[in-house]
Amino acid sequence: MVEDSLDGDFDFFDADFQKHPHEQFRRMQKECPFAHTNVPFDWYAVTREADVRALLADWELWTSNSGPGLANAGGGVLVSVDPPEHIFDRRLINKAFSPSQLLAMEADIVKLTNELIDSFVERGEGDLMELLAIPLPLIVIARLLGLDPELVQQMRPRADMVIHPATPPGKITPPRQDTPASRYFQSMLDARRKMHAAGESMPADVLSTLVSAELEGRTLTDDEVLGFMFFLFIAGSQTTTQMIGNLVYRLLQNPDQLAKVQADRSLVPQAVEEGLRYDAPVHGLFRTNTRDTEVHGVQIPADTKVLCTFGAANHDPEFWDSPERFDVERPFQKTKNHYSFGKGIHYCMGAPLARLEGAVALRAVLDRLPNLRLVAEPEVISAYVLHGVETLPVTWDAPREGTR
Amino acid sequence: MNSPDDDAPRLKIDHQACLRSGQCAYLQPGLFEMNPDGAPVVLTPTVHGEQIDQAKDAIEMCPGQAIALLQARRG
């Protein structure tokens, strides 16, 4: 154990850790595969691919019922609940995110992406996060859920809201706050309930699905509907923003790789997948053991929080050849085994949507922002489990007047 | 079941398309399981009766669209 004030193997909230996570993960894999920290209280992390795989597979021992974050935030939806409730949640929402549904949305997403690029392409420079990677996923998820894309762009939820350890262990997350966002969501729900009660035809979106849904002969309560809406809104926006930003950053950092994708667009899905592997937008999520157990010889009591470190598993040399090489030609059949969408029963429901948005965004960037290059090193997010670039200052060759 | 197995619909996994999410084995443990490498295995190559609805559920929920129910050839 490391001495001094830090009584543990690592400090996840340390700025240096956040700047060089892969080096830290590698050290943890080698030296302490079941690493302990006491910041802000006792918890552990598994970093080896085999361990992350094993924990995610055994949901009866490693439950999500206490939430996917450090705070005990049980009783939620999807990501914070195990079977049997989880199966209901998953079936209910899955239709909106099914690959066949997404196929129908692809043209819309392409159009939206091009409209966004139209709005800034002539500037020839800017922060690609602000210009594209932030608004695109927000507008897409707003449309899917049935929210106003203009309004939600002002809200900009942070994905770590869901999982931030703001609450001490043992405490349940406080009830919904009264914020402009919560008031807006409530007003949308009220309006939709009126339409439903009046038998009017409702828009084909997730809000309609939730308002019409029945669970054991009853409709969902306001808290349940809003729980779904907030979760999907947050999970569907910033994670995808990070995926797009991190991917474009790695391509700019590796011009030979960028040139390969530029020359052969059939590599786009592989590049998106390699981007997901290389930079997990979420470093990892937590599980909680339902009974006393032992990991790598360490005894832990029931109700201990353990981080399944997706970002570390994605770089485990026991599983990947040259994991530190960013390689857009890595075969998809191998790369798809990354952990950035989790694995097992809680596998990310939005994965097909994220992959689609990533591919559409990358094609648009390649087609419409020629000679794209970094003008400065990006700022890096330093926020708990979120990983990646916060800014992406770039220039490109703007179209000359009349050539568009 | 009165139809011989040859006529029953067959469950098939496209392992290239499979994303190894494990959703099929989770939602329909009677039809699928995950092998130790994390790849799904079909437990009942042909499906009958209510298994057909279970198979359709797995098909709809598969994030890789990797499961198919092949209708038996007729005539």
| Interchain pair B20, A344: CB under 8 A | no
> Is the minimum CB–CB distance between A99 and chain B shorter than 8 Å?
yes
Which residues in chain A have Cβ-Cβ distances shorter than 8 Å to B22?
57, 343-345, 347
| Interchain pair B23, A337: CB under 8 A | no
| pLDDT at A332 > cutoff 60 | yes
> Which residue range is the domain that position B57 belongs to?
5-70
Please provide residue A297's backbone torsions phi and psi, each rounded to the nearest 5 degrees: 80, 0
| pLDDT at A296 > cutoff 70 | yes
Contact between residue A314 and residue A323 where contact means Cβ atoms under 8 Å apart: yes
Arithmetic mean of pLDDT, A8-16? 78
CA distance A12 to A35: 11
Contact between residue A368 and residue A141 where contact means Cβ atoms under 8 Å apart: no
| Interchain pair A91, B21: CB under 8 A | no
* B37 confidence band (pLDDT: 50, 70, 90): confident
* A25 confidence band (pLDDT: 50, 70, 90): very high
Which residues in chain A have Cβ-Cβ distances shorter than 8 Å to B63?
99, 347, 349, 351-352
Chains A and B form CB pairs within 8 A to the count of 47
Please provide residue A273's backbone torsions phi and psi, each rounded to the nearest 5 degrees: -65, -40
Span A28-72, pLDDT tens digits: 999 999 999 888 788 999 999 999 999 998 888 999 888 888 776
Q: Is there a domain that residue B38 lies in?
A: yes
Cα-based distances in Å from A78 to A81, A181, A232: 6, 21, 9
Span A215-253, pLDDT tens digits: 778 888 898 888 888 888 888 888 999 999 999 999 999
| Interchain pair A344, B26: CB under 8 A | yes
Q: How many residues does chain B have?
A: 75
Arithmetic mean of pLDDT, A343-372? 94
Q: What is the ipTM of this complex?
A: 0.76
Taking the CA atoms of chain B, what radius of gyration do you get in angstroms? 12
- For residue A99 the two structure tokens come to 């690959």
Span B1-20, pLDDT tens digits: 445 566 889 999 999 989 88
Contact between residue A335 and residue A362 where contact means Cβ atoms under 8 Å apart: no
CATH fourth-level superfamily of A15-395 = Cytochrome P450 (1.10.630.10)
Q: Is there a domain that residue B39 lies in?
A: yes
| pLDDT at A106 > cutoff 50 | yes
Instruction: Look at residues A152, A306, A174, A150 and name the one whose alpha carbon lies nearest to residue A232.
Output: A152
| Interchain pair B22, A343: CB under 8 A | yes
Nearest residue in chain A measured CA to CA from B27: A87
| Interchain pair A344, B22: CB under 8 A | yes
Q: Is there a domain that residue B23 lies in?
A: yes
CATH number at residue B27: 3.30.70.20
The string of DSSP letters for chain B reads --S-GGGS-EEEE-TTT-----HHHHH-TTTEEE-TTS-EEES-SB--THHHHHHHHHHHH-TT--EEEEPPP--
Which residues in chain B have Cβ-Cβ distances shorter than 8 Å to A345?
22-23, 26
pLDDT, position A76: 67
Shortest distance, CA A169 to any CA of chain B (angstroms): 30
Give the 3-state secondary structure of chain A.
CCCCCCCCCCCCCCHHHHHCHHHHHHHHHHHCCEEEECCCCCEEEECCHHHHHHHHHCCCCEECCCCCCCCCCCCCCHHHCCCCHHHHHHHHHHHHHCHHHHHHHHHHHHHHHHHHHHCCHHHCEEEHHHHHHCHHHHHHHHHHHCCCHHHHHHHCCCCHHHHCCCCCCCCCCCCCCCCHHHHHHHHHHHHHHHHHHCCCCCCCCHHHHHHHCEECCEECCHHHHHHHHHHHHHHCCHHHHHHHHHHHHHHHHCHHHHHHHHHCHHHHHHHHHHHHHHCCCECCEEEEECCCEEECCEEECCCCEEEECHHHHCCCCCCCCCCCCCCCCCCHHHHCCCCCCCCHHHCCCCHHHHHHHHHHHHHHHHHHCCCCEECCCCCECCECCECCECCCEEECCCCCCCCC
Closest CB to A347 among B16, B63, B65: B63
| Interchain pair B63, A91: CB under 8 A | no
- Sequence-distant (6+) residues with CB within 8 A of A197 are none
Contact between residue A351 and residue B32 where contact means Cβ atoms under 8 Å apart: no
Q: Tell me the pLDDT of chain A averaged across its residues.
A: 87
Indicate the range of A65-74, A98-107, A300-309, A317-326 predicted with least confidence: A65-74
Which residues in chain A have Cβ-Cβ distances shorter than 8 Å to B27?
87, 90-91
| Interchain pair A99, B63: CB under 8 A | yes
CA distance A44 to A101: 39
Task: Look at chain B and report how many structural domains it folds into.
Answer: 1
- Pairing of β A305-308 and β A43-46: parallel
Q: What is the pTM of this model?
A: 0.89
| Interchain pair A344, B63: CB under 8 A | no
Q: Is there a domain that residue B75 lies in?
A: no
| Interchain pair A57, B60: CB under 8 A | no
| pLDDT at A345 > cutoff 60 | yes
Instruction: Look at residues A336, A368, A319 and name the one whose alpha carbon lies nearest to residue A50.
Output: A319
Residue of A95, A337, A339, A340 to mutate, testing the B interface (most B Cβ within 10 Å of its Cβ): A337
Shortest distance, CA A399 to any CA of chain B (angstroms): 38
For chain A, domain boundaries: 15-395
